[in-house]
Amino acid sequence: MIVDLLRNDLSIYANTGSVKTTKLFEIESFNQVHHMVSEITATLKNDINPMQMLLTALPGGSITGAPKIRAMQIIEELEGAPRGAYCGTLGYFNFDGTGRWNILIRSFQQYQNQLSIWAGGGITIASEAEAEYQESLDKISAMLNLMNSTAE
């Protein structure tokens, strides 16, 4: 579903037939986490600014769910504070117009003298609150361990 949402978002700005899924559900493993990764590429229409396309595609469907606009409204209503960079994006554009972007999950944010750690999980109809909470704690454990090891 998430790959389909992004393919749809990109197709608005892409040349017909150029939206391709070059990776689908590949597992990338790191010391503390395994990520399922998909990669979607597209060739933008000549009159489209890449930033325009990027801003339309964000926030990603893996963050909002669907329907995207209503889900974003509900998230704003339920959360007590703005997310800042969490679940935003970080990436780059090259001079030739190519680029790579990701979604900032499991992230640190510093504002003045406060450091916040962000992580979350995907809520579905089958979700159980305690299991989702534990998953969030599991996700930030590596970041907490890193902070503790650098403080010593």
Report pLDDT digits (tens) over 103-150.
888 888 888 998 888 888 777 889 899 998 998 898 898 888 888 887
Same domain for 88 and 117, yes or no, is no
Q: Do 81 and 7 share a structural domain?
A: yes
Question: Would strands 107-111 and 99-103 be described as parallel, antiparallel, or unpaired?
Answer: unpaired
5 and 62 within one domain: yes
53-63 pLDDT, tens per residue? Answer: 888 888 888 88
Give me the domain span that covers residue 118: 106-152
pTM over 0.75: no
34 and 51 part of one domain:
yes
Least confident of 10-14, 31-35, 91-95: 31-35
98 and 76 in one domain? yes
Whether residues 69 and 125 share a domain: the answer is no
Q: What is the pLDDT of residue 118?
A: 87
Say yes or no: 111 and 64 in one domain: no
* Predicted confidence (pLDDT) at residue 14 exceeds the cutoff of 90: yes
* 100/124 same-domain check: no
Q: Do 70 and 132 reside in the same domain of the chain?
A: no
CA distance between the termini of the chain:
44
Query: Average of pLDDT values for 63-89?
Result: 87
Q: Are residues 98 and 133 both part of a single domain?
A: no
Same domain, 17 and 84: yes
